[in-house]
Copies of this chain bind each other. A is one copy, B any other.
């Protein structure tokens, strides 16, 4: 994978749509990227766009999306509006021949997401999903270690993402937070491993109308298990992922900047278990590794900056982005399965192929 800087071509004109929670981050990072020339910040509420840009910016605020899409200087559109609007806004941008970057989740439903993916592919345009965490140095390293075999076979993943979060009116905690974990999962899984089924349980103890605490289980094609805990009600912020492998186990603690990733040469080995008939003999073959821990040096780099760079490179190269529309679609498939399971008391739901 190459995240190298773009070449000396003319920067790509870009417009950011949505000046809410995430938009300002996109504005800042597109401005910092030489690959792009940020031309517009669009919001239905023009004063909100003006406020985000401040008094010193030459970027133009507007509430007129149609004009922006008609602007030939704009080659790409980054959309940070609510998921329910993604289909309409992104489809308009694609129809106008613009490359599109979408905030997670890709769309409000799997079917809407599929329509966007199909349209982009039909037109040969780049459709990318801003799975920001995938561009953190930590996750890039995890991907490398897991896909490169250094952790061995994947045994289990346990992810915890809890915090005193913004309780939302229209979506539950699964749709708010689990896209992060599921997009990371999609990103790091080796090619020969895939999710098979999803189950989920949740609770709404405060009466918010949606689950505020939820637990999601994904079964993998290899027999491994992935478990995700998302929670809006925790007074402490925890962002931990354990990736258990047959050779080594990796612990990612995103709240510990001085040691985000730790790789443990510790674990249980079960020599020749498959060949054994009797429990007595198997028992003798369990052994424990208790080796050292290595915390690799990771650059401290803003993930969003790398994501924006990848968007530029995918456009230039005419290749799918690392987190392209199809990965956004797979995440939607897992989320829809999770929602269905949640409605059915945790009954496992098969993942759409």
Contacts and interface: CB of A to CB of B under 8 A. Distances in A.
The quantity of this chain's copies bound in the complex is 4
B231 A236 contact: no
B345 A208 contact: no
Contacts of A269: 206
Interface residues of A, number: 80
Interface stretch (A88-96, A258-266, A313-321): A258-266
A266 B227 CA distance: 26
B233 A155 contact: yes
A251 B38 CA distance: 45
A288 to B, nearest CB: 7
A293 B296 CA distance: 6
Contacts of A297: 265-266, 290-293
Contact of A56 (B38, B155, B267): B38
B208 A286 contact: yes
A171 to B, nearest CB: 12
A213 B233 contact: no
Interface stretch (A63-71, A107-115, A197-205, A324-332): A197-205
Contacts of A279: 169, 209
A167 B286 CA distance: 8
A223 to B, nearest CB: 6
B231 A155 contact: no
A145 interface: no
B258 A237 contact: yes
Interface in A209-265: 209, 212-213, 215, 217, 223-225, 227, 229, 231-237, 242, 244, 246, 249, 251, 255, 258-259, 262, 264-265
A3 interface: no
Interface string A184-206: 00000000000000010111111
A97 B273 CA distance: 46
Contact of A251 (B212, B235, B265): B235
Given A237-B258, A283-B169, A294-B294, A244 B205 contact: yes
A140 interface: no
A25 interface: no
A217 B346 contact: yes
A266 B282 CA distance: 44
A274 B209 CA distance: 10
16 contacts: A57-B57, A156-B203, A156-B233, A167-B270, A209-B279, A209-B282, A213-B244, A234-B244, A235-B266, A236-B264, A262-B295, A265-B297, A292-B296, A292-B297, A346-B346, A346-B347
